[in-house]
Every structure is written in structure tokens, then in C-alpha cells.
């Protein structure tokens, strides 16, 4: 079902896992997953609650070390690379629950992230005295806010933002870090329908700037966004391929039966 079996000479694998497994006290959350993404692709990962999707993201970004297996980025082994070093390499993510600092101004959230994850970050002391004040850093951060349509809120305290604007801010922070691959973990969680449409539209506008992996429960929202869809169930990949083909897979339909309104099989 996967198109990755026959790569062209111009395509490069940006991230790949081989036999990646994660166990917690005897419970296997991710089970021998072989996965790879071609540079420039937009791909989705779906699956019911507890399928292992977010744990898999945590493995890709270094938040969890794998119990077994290997993770490569552009062919280089990054299995033991720390999360902040992966961010510098260009592996950037967002979280299911919005993760921003309410006690800071909107713009300062981006500046903090950029200075902390910058290639030349050396110490908190240097950050306080110099880096955070650099004009180019501020301009780059403002540009990311413009891309998400919240530049007018740059000087507001983050606590004043709506949940939808906080979600946009989190994505803006990720974009400001210039990702080579962006991992979005349920970016529509907690949003109203109108906010989902708006955030989805913004993602579409910028998705050609990086490789995209998106986890989402609302399958109908990403079906036209992604080129390839993977399905996780009980820690394993059970299907992978073109979205229309995957949604017609009998095993996938069994996993989602009664759990996703409007799951339509079309070829």
C-alpha cells in the first residue's frame, strides 16, 4: 500500500525508524515500528486513543529514548540525540495540549524559544544581556506571528489570548524555529469548528516550507491535507498508503467503526 517502496533518485528520506519500540514497565506503547518520510511530504498518522501516536512523536523528538530500534535523520543516527539538539537540527513539534507561557507577552514566547534553541545559545546570562534583544531575532519572530495572523497580538500577555489564538501562537513558535520537519500533535484539539477551518487554512499556506507529520483524530480534516496516511493501533502500524486506500482497508474500518463520523470509503 505504501508508495515508499520505490523512491525516485531525487527523493530523500528525511526521517526513518527501524524496529522502534517503547516499553513502560512491561507495557509496550510502540511496537517495532518501521516508518519513513520523504523530504517535502505532508503525511498523517491516525489511530484511536492509546494507539501510541504521541509516544511515537516523543520518540522521534527525543523526549523518550526507545527501548529498541533506531531513528535516523537524513541518514544520520539520532537515536541518542537530546531533544534540544534535534530542534537545532530542524525537528520541531507542537503538543496535544497547548504549551506556551501565559506569564510572558506573545512575542516574548517566540523570542525565548528562538534564543534557547539557537545554534549559538551558550548561557542564561548571555541570553538575559544580549541575545533576546537582537533586532533580527525579533523581526523573525514577528514574521512567524504574521504567518499565523496574530501579529496584532504580539504585545499582549499570552494569558489574555483565546485558546484558538494560543494554538496559533504555538504553531508560530514552531515555524519561527525554521523546521525542516514539523510534527503537529492534534493541532485542532480544543478548537471550535470555525477555529479549525482557520488553523487548517494557515497550515495549508505554509506547508510547502517543510516536511509535515500530523497526528489527528478528526480524519475528515486532514484527508485533503496529506499525501500519505498511516494508522496506528495498539502500538503497531496496521496500514499505510494513500488516504483513500487506507480508509478502505477492512482492518482500519474495524478499528474506527463507530468512532469517527463520516468515515467514507472511496477509491
Query: Do residues 112 and 59 both lie within one domain?
Result: no
pLDDT at residue 234 greater than cutoff 70 = yes
**Number of folded domains that form the chain:** 2
Query: Do residues 161 and 232 both lie within one domain?
Result: no
Query: Do residues 120 and 247 both lie within one domain?
Result: no
Query: What's residue 220's pLDDT?
Result: 84
Query: Do residues 226 and 155 both lie within one domain?
Result: no
- Please give the C-alpha separations between residue 169 and each of 46, 154, 157, 195, in angstroms, as whole numbers: 24, 10, 12, 13
Q: Coil, helix or strand for 113?
A: helix
Q: Residue 113 is part of which domain span? A: 99-178
Query: What's residue 259's pLDDT?
Result: 53
Question: How far apart (Å, rounded) are the C-alpha atoms in residues 228 and 181?
Answer: 15
Query: What's residue 161's pLDDT?
Result: 94
C-alpha dihedral, 3 to 213 to 89 to 176, nearest 10°: 140
27: pLDDT confidence band, cut at 50, 70 and 90? Answer: very high
Query: What's residue 134's pLDDT?
Result: 67
pLDDT at residue 154 greater than cutoff 50 = yes
Query: Do residues 75 and 184 both lie within one domain?
Result: yes
Domain boundary among the residues 178, 201, 220 is at: 178
Query: Do residues 186 and 257 both lie within one domain?
Result: yes
- 91-115 pLDDT, tens digit each: 999 988 788 999 999 999 998 888 7
2: pLDDT confidence band, cut at 50, 70 and 90? Answer: very low
pLDDT at residue 267 greater than cutoff 90 = no
Query: Do residues 151 and 229 both lie within one domain?
Result: no
Query: What mean pLDDT is predicted for residues 143-154?
Result: 92
Query: Do residues 242 and 141 both lie within one domain?
Result: no
Query: Do residues 183 and 265 both lie within one domain?
Result: yes
* Cell numbers at 138, concatenated: 525579533
Task: Give Cα 257 to chain centroid, integer Å.
Answer: 26
- 189-213 pLDDT, tens digit each: 888 899 899 999 999 988 899 999 9
Please state whether the predicted TM-score (pTM) of the whole model is above 0.95. no
Query: What's residue 130's pLDDT?
Result: 53
- Does residue 89 contact residue 76 with C-beta atoms inside 8 Å? no
* Cell numbers at 216, concatenated: 489527528
Query: What mean pLDDT is predicted for residues 236-244?
Result: 94
What is the DSSP code string of 140-200?
HHHHHHHHTT-GGGTTSBGGGS-HHHHHHHHHHHHHHT--SEEEEESTTTT--HHHHHHHH
Amino acid at each position: 500500500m505504501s508508495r515508499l517502496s520505490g523512491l525516485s533518485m531525487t527523493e530523500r528520506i528525511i526521517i526513518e525508524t527501524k524496529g522502534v519500540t517503547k516499553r513502560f514497565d512491561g507495557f509496550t506503547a510502540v511496537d517495532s515500528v518501521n516508518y519513513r518520510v520523504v523530504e517535502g511530504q505532508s503525511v498523517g498518522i491516525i489511530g484511536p486513543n492509546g494507539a501510541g501516536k504521541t509516544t511515537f512523536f516523543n520518540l522521534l523528538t527525543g523526549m523518550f529514548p526507545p527501548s529498541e530500534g533506531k531513528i535516523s535523520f537524513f541518514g544520520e543516527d539520532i537515536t541518542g540525540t537530546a531533544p534540544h539538539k534535534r530542534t537545532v537540527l530542524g525537528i520541531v513539534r507542537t503538543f496535544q495540549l497547548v504549551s506556551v507561557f501565559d506569564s510572558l507577552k506573545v512575542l516574548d514566547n517566540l523570542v525565548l524559544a528562538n534564543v534557547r534553541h539557537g545554534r549559538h545559545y551558550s548561557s542564561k546570562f548571555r541570553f538575559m544581556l544580549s541575545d533576546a534583544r537582537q533586532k533580527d531575532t525579533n523581526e523573525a519572530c514577528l514574521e512567524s506571528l504574521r504567518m499565523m495572523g496574530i501579529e496584532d497580538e504580539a504585545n499582549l500577555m499570552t494569558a489574555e489570548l483565546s485558546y484558538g489564538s494560543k494554538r496559533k501562537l504555538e504553531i508560530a513558535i514552531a515555524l519561527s524555529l525554521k523546521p525542516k520537519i514539523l510534527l503537529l500533535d492534534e493541532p485542532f484539539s480544543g478548537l471550535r469548528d470555525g477555529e479549525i477551518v482557520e488553523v487548517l487554512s494557515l497550515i495549508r499556506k505554509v506547508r510547502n516550507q517543510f516536511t509535515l507529520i500530523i497526528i489527528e483524530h478528526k480524519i475528515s480534516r486532514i484527508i485533503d491535507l496529506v499525501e500519505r496516511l498511516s494508522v496506528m493501533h495498539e502500538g503497531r502500524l496496521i496500514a499505510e498508503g494513500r488516504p483513500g486506500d487506507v480508509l478502505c482497508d477492512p482492518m482500519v474500518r474495524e478499528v474506527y467503526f463507530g468512532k469517527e463520523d463520516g468515515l467514507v470509503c472511496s477509491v
